[in-house]
Amino acid sequence: MSLETITTISPVTNKPILTRNGLSDADLLSIPETAVRAFDSFRRTSLSDRQQIVKKALKLLNDRQDALGKEITEQMGRPIAYTAKEVTTAVARGEYMLKISEETLKDTEGEAEKGFKRYVRKVPIGPILIMFPWNYPYLTLINSLVPALLVGNSVIIKPSPQTPTSAEQIQQAFKDAGLPDGVLQVFHSGSISQIEAIARSRHIQLVCFTGSVANGLAVQGAANDRVPIRVGLELGGKDPAYVRSDVDVKWAAEEIVDGAIFNSGQSCCSVERVYVDEKIHDDFVAAVQDVLKGYKLGDPMDKKTQIGPVVSKRSAEAIAAHVKDAVEKGAQDATPENESFKSPPPDGNFVAPTLLTNVNHDMAVMTEETFGPVIPVMKVKDDSEAIKLMNDSQFGLTASIWTKDVSKGHELIDDVEAGTVFVNRCDYPAPDLAWVGWKDSGKGQTLSKFGFDQFVKLKSYHVKDYPK
Q: What is the DSSP letter of 178?
A: T
Would you list the DSSP string of 451-465?
A: GGGGGEEEEEEEEEP
CA distance linking residue 60 with residue 80, whole number of Å: 20
With contact defined as beta carbons under 8 Å apart, do 378 and 275 qualify? yes
CA–CA distance, 393 with 400 (Å, rounded to integer) = 15
Please state the separation of Cα 464 from the chain's center in Å. Answer: 46
For residue 153, the tally of other CB atoms under 10 A from its CB is 25
Q: How far apart are CA 294 and CA 379, in angstroms?
A: 25
**Cβ 173 vs Cβ 198: under 8 Å:** no
Work out the end-to-end distance of the chain between its first and last CA atoms, rounded to an integer number of angstroms: 69
Cβ pair 349, 309 in contact under 8 A: yes
Q: How far is the C-alpha of 449 from the C-alpha of 468, rounded, in Å?
A: 42
With a CB cutoff of 8 Å and minimum separation 6, the contacts of 466 are none
Asked if 459 and 117 count as a contact pair (C-beta separation under 8 A), the reply is no
Round to whole Å and give the CA distance between 350 and 299: 9
- Which of 199, 224, 194 lies closest to 209 in space, CA to CA? 199
> If you write DSSP's letter for every residue of 326-360 in order, what string do you get?
HHHTT-EE-PPP-HHHHS--SSS-----EEEES--
For the beta carbon of residue 304, count every other beta carbon within 10 angstroms: 10
**For residues 303 and 306, what is the distance between their CA atoms, to the nearest angstrom?**
8
Measured CA to CA, the distance from residue 441 to residue 416 in angstroms comes to 14
**Contact yes or no for 357/334 (Cβ under 8 A):** yes
Nearest to 441 by CA among 393, 396, 390: 396
Q: Residue 400 is inside which H or E element, if any?
A: strand 398-402
Rounded CA gap, 78 and 298, in Å? 10
**CA 50, 53, 59: angle at the middle one, nearest 5?**
140
d(C-alpha 54, C-alpha 31), whole Å: 22
Point out the catalytic residue in the list 74, 234, 255, 369. 234
Whether 234 is catalytic is: yes
Which active-site residues does the annotation give? 234
